[in-house]
Chains A and B, each alone.
Chain A
Amino acid sequence: MKISNTQITPEKFYKNRRKFIKQLGLASSAFYFAPTLFSTANASNKLTEYKYITTYNNYYEFGTGKNHPVERSQNFITDPWSITIDGEVDKKITLSMDDIKKMFPVEERIYRLRCVEGWSMVIPWLGFPLNKLLKKANPTSKAKFVRFESILDPEQMIGQRYPILDWPYKEGLRIDEAMHPLTIMVTGLYGKELPNQNGSPIRLMVPWKYGFKSAKAIVRISFVEKMPISSWMKASPREYGFYSNVNPNVDHPRWSQATERVIGEGIMSPRIPTLMFNGYEEEVAHLYKDMDLRKYY
């Protein structure tokens, strides 16, 4: 099911999106915006305004306030940049951002981003499937998980001078989750370069998991045999599990996850129900078949 761009696009400049996408030689992949989300014409399916996506961020490397990333990341240097893929691979590889841009053409993916704190945005990302990148390295048969590591640079990242989390930021996915076509590496949003506060130059985006799973400013991806311990798991294992799939039926110890507030809506607009796997149930539920999602939260 398709929805016209004007219906979901509040941004003026964004009227040129189709043109822009054609210039890139790509087809709009609005298809990936889970069909269930389109079934009702609902305010919650509207794209979130650019100003909110780029000023309301959780990026503790730059501070714990939502406004800190935009205020403190503008001078962050993202060029030169490279990603190393290592661990259980035949041969470790390092790719520069230029290599990555040449190798993997970007496409647009409109995803809902659901934060564990109980709010959500709808964001038009530019990116490419992570599996394309992972296939460049040949993982060995031992590889069961993929571990992501963000940059460590306390000089530039004030938050890393304090023991807020176990720096550098670490995240992880099971290999089948990492290879899933919905899992992308992001290099832009709203047809523009990815702003620093959103994880420039390259970040992960796993739309059916809570936002913190999608690590920003990634420098290293490792294939590993054992389940990696993420920074948030280490900070509070009872609160942040390895899977962290969006699930309205399993509450966070401190917050209910049954509903969410839509970013950019006025004070009178109500919470909306949170969907299983953030609305991507059809695409991903099979990954967790026969798993007790209460236990593996």
Chain B
Amino acid sequence: MLRYSKIFVFLLCLWPLYSIIYQIFYNNLGAEPVDKIINHFGEWTLIFIFLTLSMSPLKKITNSLIWIKFRRMLGLFVFFYASIHMLSYVGLDYRFDFEPLINDVLKKKFIFIGFSAWLLLIPLAITSSDKMVKILKHNWKKIHRLIYVIGIFGVLHFIWLSKTIFFKPLIFLVILIILLLFRVNFKKLSSKV
């Protein structure tokens, strides 16, 4: 049963890819197709970060362990879409012309932080297997807390590239804050006070 639901979720997670291929095929990308493709994968990367971060709160709320079974797959999709997002920027927009790209990474803070977020995803992707969990033991958990940093960097990347925070970047920021607040142990905090 779990196997089938995993296959189903996997196919569902490919939705952003189908939809963009469909739009490319039907020439439906509008006035600025390159920009649209980059933004499409950027937004979906953030959505997948949020989905990944939702699994443990859902576990607590529903008292069911099932959610955690999907967390690794969702996390790997974050890496997958973040990589396509970056590749479409490097390849489609800048034609692999690295000189202006390096200039961008160093000079533009939103690119710098976005690129940093992608770099931080690499160790998470590499250490995602069961084998790595066993090898790294309690360190695994520490490493994978990086996802909080990545989430913050990702949302900052979105806010900084937008001309105004209204409204999508603001909505994304609020969702991130809510998801991070689930991680704060208020009981522990209040007992300290």
- Same complex for A and B? Answer yes
Report which residue of B29, B34, B100, B167 has the largest number of chain A beta carbons within 10 angstroms of its beta carbon: B34
Chain A residues near B32: list those with CB within 8 A.
Answer: 56, 119, 261, 263
B29 touches A117 (CB 8 A): no
Decide: A258 near B100, CB < 8 A? Known: A64-B167, A267-B24: yes
Among listed B52-60, B65-73, B102-110, interface-contacting one: B102-110
Complexed CA–CA distance, A276 and B44 (Å) = 36
Q: Which residues of A contact B100 (CB under 8 A)?
A: 256, 258-259
A64, A251, A267: residue with the most chain B Cβ atoms closer than 10 Å? A267
**8 Å CB interface, B70-117 against A:** 92-95, 100, 103-104, 107-110
B31 at the interface (CB under 8 A from A): yes
Contact mask for chain A residues 250-274; partner B; CB cutoff 8 A; 1 contact, 0 none = 0101111011010110110011000
**For chain A, what secondary structure do more than half of its interface residues adopt (helix, strand, loop), or is it mixed?**
loop
Are A270 and B167 in contact, with the CB atoms below 8 A?
no
Q: A165-B164, A267-B24 are in contact. List 17 more A-B contacts (CB 8 A).
A: A52-B30, A56-B30, A64-B166, A119-B32, A162-B166, A164-B164, A253-B108, A254-B110, A256-B100, A256-B103, A256-B104, A256-B107, A256-B108, A261-B32, A267-B33, A267-B92, A271-B93
Q: Which residues of B contact A256 (CB under 8 A)?
A: 100, 103-104, 107-108
A292–B139 Cα gap in the complex (Å)?
Answer: 55
Contact A270 B95 (CB under 8 A): yes
Inter-chain residue pair count (beta carbon < 8 A): 55
Report the nearest A residue to B24, measured CB to CB.
A267
A66 to B32, CA, bound (A): 10
For this complex, 30 residue pairs linking A to B, each with C-beta atoms less than 8 Å apart, are: A52-B31, A55-B30, A55-B31, A56-B30, A56-B31, A56-B32, A60-B164, A64-B163, A64-B164, A162-B166, A162-B167, A164-B164, A165-B164, A235-B164, A251-B107, A253-B108, A254-B108, A254-B110, A254-B160, A255-B108, A256-B104, A256-B107, A256-B108, A261-B32, A261-B93, A263-B31, A267-B24, A267-B29, A267-B33, A271-B93
SS class, residues of chain B in contact with chain A: helix
The answer to whether B31 and A66 have CB atoms under 8 Å apart is yes
Decide: B35 and A261 in contact? CB cutoff 8 A: yes
Contacts of A259 in B (CB 8 A): 100
Residues of A within 8 A of B167 (CB): 64, 162
Question: Interface extent on B, as a size class?
Answer: 20 to 34
Which residues of A pack against B, CB within 8 Å? 52, 55-56, 60, 64, 66, 117, 119, 162, 164-165, 235, 251, 253-256, 258-259, 261, 263-264, 266-267, 270-271
Whether the pair B33, A254 counts as a contact (CB closer than 8 A) is no
Smallest Cβ-Cβ distance to A232: which chain B residue: B163
A165 to B100, CA, bound (A): 31
Check A267 against B164 for contact (C-beta < 8 Å): no
The 9 A-B pairs of least Cβ separation, nearest first, read A56-B31, A52-B31, A267-B33, A263-B31, A164-B166, A164-B164, A267-B34, A64-B166, A254-B108
Closest B residue to A159 by CB, please name it. B166
Distance in angstroms between the alpha carbons of A38 and B119 in the assembled complex = 44
A261: min CB distance to chain B, Å = 6
A261 interface neighbour in B34, B109, B161, Cβ under 8 Å: B34
Chain A: CB-nearest residue to B30: A56
In angstroms, Cα B99 to Cα A258, docked, is 12
Task: Looking at the assembled complex, report how far the CB atom of A267 sits from the nearest CB atom of chain B, in whole angstroms.
Answer: 5
Contacts of A258 in B (CB 8 A): 100
Q: Which residue of A lies closest to B31 (CB)?
A: A56
Q: How far does the alpha carbon of A258 sit from the alpha carbon of B163 in the complex, in Å?
A: 19
Closest to A258 in B: B100
Does B155 lie at the interface of the complex (its beta carbon under 8 Å from any beta carbon of A)? no
Nearest-neighbor residue (CB-CB) of A212 within chain B: B163
Cβ contact of A266, chosen from B33, B107, B160, B164, cutoff 8 A = B33
Chain B residues with Cβ below 8 Å from A60 are 164
Give Cα A254 to B35, complex, Å. Answer: 16
Hey, which chain B residues are within 8 Å of A164, CB to CB? 164, 166
B35 with A119: CB separation less than 8 A:
yes
Which residue of chain B has its CB nearest to the CB of A251?
A: B107
- Which residues of chain B are within 8 angstroms of A266 by Cβ–Cβ distance? 33
Q: Which residue of A lies closest to B109 (CB)?
A: A254
**Residues in B113-142 with C-beta less than 8 Å from chain A:** none
Q: A-facing mask of B26-63, CB < 8 A → 1, else 0? A: 00011111110100000000000000000000000000
Task: Looking at the assembled complex, report how far the CB atom of A98 sits from the nearest CB atom of chain B, in whole angstroms.
Answer: 34
CB of B169 to closest CB in A, whole Å: 10
